[in-house]
Structure 1
Amino acid sequence: MGLPLPGLWLKRLWVLFQVGLHVAMGKVLLTLFPRRVKQNILAMSEKTGMAKNPHFSYENWIPTFFSAQYFWFILKVRWQRLEDMTEQGGLAPNCPVVRLSGQRCNIWDFMQG
């Protein structure tokens, strides 16, 4: 159902390289061209509707981009997506979810009540 172990680790290594390169390039660009990076991020926020959010401000969000915390979060999400694949006709992944009460469980357990 899932990827063979060597294939999964190879893909994880590739994702680690991609995310590391993305964060390093972003950090360099943010250092060398801060005004241009600000323009690009604000333009993207206009497209996504983030600029309409009264809690969004450049000063609060931009320092978090390309940080170590950003790196680990993106890496975790991308790695989890590698494992959450399924084949047509196969079983769907039993992904973790969080109930409104804060209790963590899997989708199958959540559906069972």
Structure 2
Amino acid sequence: MGLPGPGLWLKRLWVLLEVAVHVAVGKLLLTLFPDRVKKNILAMGDKTGMTRNPNFSHDNWIPTFFSTQYFWFVLKVRWQRLEDTTELGGLAPNCPVVHLSGQRCNIWDFMQG
């Protein structure tokens, strides 16, 4: 498979900068305007139906936004998406999947049974 090309490294650097700025601005807004940020995050949760869950507690969930764990999670997902691309006529990415039993494998292995 080899090392990734310089184009991928530049894209990774750009994604790192994007995510870092996103988290820094989000943390700043969360510090300066906590009620407004809370309202916006809850409005996004209304679109998905998550906040309609009676067991949902936003007091435990909202502080996790713009944290260090949030930064690393978003960065990891965005970097994986950079590698999961294909070109017209090329092979599709062999992305990881999880069985209902919890077993992890790749799509190709899953399709083979």
Deviations 1:9-30 (A, max 9, x none): 1000000000011011111111
How do 1:1-113 and structure 2 match up within 5 A?
5-113=5-113
Any unmatched runs of 5+ in structure 1? none
SS at match of 2:93: coil
Instruction: Select between 15-24 and 40-49 the one with higher mean Cα deviation.
Output: 40-49
Q: Give the CA deviation at 1:55.
A: 2.6
SS at match of 2:87: coil
Query: Following TM superposition, where does structure 1 have runs of at least 4 consecutive aligned residues deviating by more than 4 angstroms?
Result: none
Distance 1:45 1:100 in 2: 26
SS at match of 2:97: strand
SS at match of 2:101: coil
Q: Give the CA deviation at 1:56.
A: 2.0
Q: Give the CA deviation at 1:95.
A: 0.8
Q: Give the CA deviation at 1:96.
A: 1.2
Instruction: Select between 54-63 and 21-30 the one with higher mean Cα deviation.
Output: 54-63
Distance 2:86 2:47 in 1: 32
Q: Percent identity?
A: 81
Q: State the structure with bigger RCO (CA 8 A, min sep 6), 1 or 2.
A: 1
Deviations 1:17-68 (A, max 9, x none): 0001101111111111111111111122222222212232220211110011
What's the TM-score, normalizing by structure 1? 0.90
